[in-house]
Amino acid sequence: MGLAEAAVRRFRGSILALGVLLLVLGIAWWLDRSEAVPEVSPDTLFRFDKEDLVAFTIVRPDATIEIRRIDDRWTAVGRSWRPNRAMIRRVAHQLHDLDARANVIDDPEAPEVYGLGSDAIEVTLELRGGERLAFRVGDPNPTSVSYYVQVLSSDQAEIGRVYVVKKASMDYYRLDIQAFREDRIATFDAADAVSLVAQIDGGQIEAERTGPLTWQLHAPVEQEASRDKIRLMLGRISALRALAFEADAPGDLAPWGIGEDAPRIAITLGSGEVIAVRLGDMLPDTEPPQRYAYLEADDAVYVVKAGILESFRLSADELRNRVLLGKHAWDVVALQVTPPADEPLRLTKTSDDWRWPDGAVISGSTPERVAGRAAELKAIVFHEIAPGGFGPEFATVQLWFEDQLEATVRLGRRWEIEVPDAQEGIGGRTEGRQLARIDDRETIYEIDDGLAEVIEDLWREHGRKLERDADKRLDEVDPGN
């Protein structure tokens, strides 16, 4: 029994020693192999700053496309259309730091095997400073996840060598030529627009910028315009995209229903550039609905979504600016309320409170409510002539703002209207209405009577203050009473 155990132990020791030996030999082999086969990095094909790209030319069997930056504006040379800026960015982005996935062959004798024969696409890049980079685009490799390219000009890679590169860096050169055409019909910033003229359905909208945030309507009415509505209309044009390119330099626009009476929208930018779009017939059986559009600057007909006109078919009231002063309570530094045939009541605001004319602090929020209701007035209805007359006059409110501007609000006749219940369609409640004038504007506004209500609260509080002051003076004169 003892001999058997010793034999087993010797056998196990031999197996363990053999295992250790094999492990050591394996590690040595791996180390020797790692030194013998050094890691190979892929070749660098191109390196340049994306902003240095000033032109690129694509020579294809079906067409030659030359895109060039002239006076900081990209132009499709020899073509009437504007180049697609997204495609320009793509060229610069994909090529500025391109590395090969693999090196295939030096100077191949049969380049057509890789799609690099006479039918290959040839691309030339021009950089600021005069440097040129060039290559041919071949076929996809057997896995269709890469493309073969042959470098023709580069200070990074071997000239004439065939490489394999990622598919995304080359596949777009085979796209239809229209892919290189800008599909944004008119791209501009709404802040750059200075005027808008729209002739639609026999009517006209004409608006002119009067300040960074203000517009003035000249048609269909002479009135301050709704900034939101103007921005909506400008946004419709700036976001307009071509769903299809229909015709270039068509001459006669009648086939697309773009006649003399066709809707026309013209936007003038601060630079003097005019973006004018005319809209034509609807296309049959399209979803979403589509129609033809003609961009005058491009002399081209496009297909666009038909909903563009919805934002321009607005009534005069919808186009008017309902925000009458465009201020807030915190903008007001002083106010004066003058009742008919009575002395004005002037209040001033310090850093943390409102004060009466004698400098006493006003408790409560009434002055702030008066300032807020007056500064944030909104029109419900616009009148050229006051229905039933403007008077009797309720009060005049003068406002002084921290930006040194002033405004005067004259409040006229008040009345109540019955508001139907939304569910039952019958009388549900009453609302107060009042007429108002702003500064020297000719328009008469119909507003709610919320400002009049807080003015009445202010008068009552001032009346109680006068009573308290009178009682205090009486106590000082005759303390016993």
b/e map 302-311, b = 16+ CB within 10 Å: bbbbbebeeb
More confident: 454 or 12: 454
Q: Mean pLDDT across the stretch 386-412?
A: 92
Take residue 348 and report the two structure tokens written for it: 């001033």
Look-up: residue for tokens 């201020």? Answer: 327
Residue 351: what residue type? S
Which of the residue ranges 29-43, 80-94, 161-175 would you say has the lowest mean pLDDT? 29-43
Which of the residue ranges 163-167, 187-191, 451-455 would you say has the lowest mean pLDDT? 187-191
Q: Mean pLDDT across the stretch 183-202?
A: 91
**Looking at residue 26, what is its pLDDT?**
55
Take residue 80 and report the two structure tokens written for it: 């009437």
What backbone torsions phi and psi does residue 80 show, to the nearest 5 degrees?
-80, -20
More confident: 272 or 108: 272
**Looking at residue 426, what is its pLDDT?**
58
Ranges of each domain in the chain: 50-180, 190-319, 329-477
**Looking at residue 38, what is its pLDDT?**
37
- List, for residues 415-447, the tens digit of each pLDDT value: 998 877 656 555 568 899 999 999 988 889 999
- List, for residues 216-247, the tens digit of each pLDDT value: 999 998 888 999 999 999 999 999 999 999 99
The crossing angle, in degrees rounded to 10, of helices 450-477 and 366-375 is 150
Confidence of residue 40 (pLDDT cuts 50, 70, 90): very low
Check pLDDT > 80 for residue 35: no
**Looking at residue 17, what is its pLDDT?**
54
**Looking at residue 199, what is its pLDDT?**
95
Check pLDDT > 80 for residue 14: no
- List, for residues 293-308, the tens digit of each pLDDT value: 999 988 999 999 998 8
- Asked if residues 192 and 231 have their Cβ atoms less than 8 Å apart, the reply is no
∠ CA 107-174-102, rounded to 5°: 35
- Asked if residues 438 and 327 have their Cβ atoms less than 8 Å apart, the reply is no
Q: Rg of the chain's alpha carbons, rounded to an integer? A: 39
**Looking at residue 88, what is its pLDDT?**
94
Residues forming a β-bridge with 224? 216
Please report, rounded to a whole number, the percentage of residues in the chain having pLDDT higher than 90: 63
Take residue 263 and report the two structure tokens written for it: 């809707």
- List, for residues 339-365, the tens digit of each pLDDT value: 988 899 999 999 889 999 999 999 999
Check pLDDT > 90 for residue 18: no
Residue 305: what residue type? K
**Looking at residue 19, what is its pLDDT?**
56
CA–CA dist 476, 481 (Å, integer): 10
Distances (CA, A) of 214 to 226, 231, 243, 373: 8, 11, 33, 21
pTM metric for this prediction: 0.69
Using alpha carbons, select from 93, 253, 283, 279 the residue that is nearest to residue 186. Answer: 279
Q: Which residues contact 22 (CB under 8 A, 6 or more apart)?
A: none
Check pLDDT > 50 for residue 37: no
Take residue 375 and report the two structure tokens written for it: 């500064």
- Residue 420 CB: number of other CB atoms within 10 A? 11
Which of the residue ranges 3-7, 110-114, 260-264 would you say has the lowest mean pLDDT? 3-7
CA–CA dist 72, 91 (Å, integer): 17
CA–CA dist 176, 229 (Å, integer): 38
**Looking at residue 302, what is its pLDDT?**
95
Check pLDDT > 50 for residue 263: yes
More confident: 481 or 276: 276
Average pLDDT, the chain: 87
CA–CA dist 362, 353 (Å, integer): 7
Confidence of residue 213 (pLDDT cuts 50, 70, 90): confident
Determine what percent of the chain falls in helix, strand and coil, rounding each to the nearest 5. Answer: 30, 35, 35
Check pLDDT > 60 for residue 22: no
Q: Mean pLDDT across the stretch 309-335?
A: 92
Helices then strands, counting H and E runs in the chain, come out as 6, 25
**Looking at residue 408, what is its pLDDT?**
96
**Looking at residue 112, what is its pLDDT?**
87
Q: Mean pLDDT across the stretch 51-65?
A: 94
**Looking at residue 80, what is its pLDDT?**
82
